[in-house]
Amino acid sequence: MSRLDLSKEFIPLKIAVLTMSDTRSLSEDRSGTVLVERLQAAGHTLADRAICKDDIGQIQKQASKWIADRDIDVIITTGGTGFTGRDVTPEALTPLFEKHMDGFSHVFHRVSFEKIGTSTIQSRATAGVANSTYIFALPGSSGACKDAWDGILIFQLDYRHQPCNFVEILPRLDEHLKRSKLQST
């Protein structure tokens, strides 16, 4: 089973938090605040934080800005993963993914099921990788953000987590780009 290898040094990541909401401000953003508090308590750095309206173009613009920023390792979004007409986060983010992380959704639903039962099917939580940046789209409830962080992300974003974690493969996410450059010369 998983464990922490305390002989390894913790590697802090730079994480950006994006909340999708037509009505909230940063001071009212409980889910974003939950994520910020948890990532900082774990030893990571908050790289940036923003709120976007539930609009595909605005979400893609903000996410693309962070994806292009080589100093941001991870983007965590909250909100817009349901089924209402305004819930467009997966539609905005998935076209940006170079690789989809199907396992994240499966594990998120398993963790969530233990807390809220079958209501977890109302979430379209998703994740992927773009330009060597991990992107996680979480539901807008603070409970779902706690579950995703406490049940998945705290472990996978910790270099010491064994048997494997996202941090140890972070430097290799762009191998295909390096290989393409070598082949074209």
For residue 78, what are the contacts with CB-CB under 8 A and spacing of at least 6?
Answer: 17, 18, 19, 20, 31, 32, 35, 138, 139, 140, 144, 145
Show pLDDT as tens, one digit a residue, over the chain (185 residues): 678 899 999 999 999 999 999 888 888 999 999 999 999 999 999 999 999 999 999 999 999 999 999 999 999 999 999 999 999 999 999 999 999 999 999 999 999 999 999 999 999 999 999 999 999 999 999 999 999 999 999 999 999 999 999 999 999 988 766 655 555 55
> What CATH homologous superfamily does 12-184 map to?
MoaB/Mog-like domain (3.40.980.10)
Instruction: State residue 1's pLDDT score.
Output: 62
Task: Give the domain ranges of the chain.
Answer: 12-184
Q: What is the pLDDT of residue 26?
A: 86
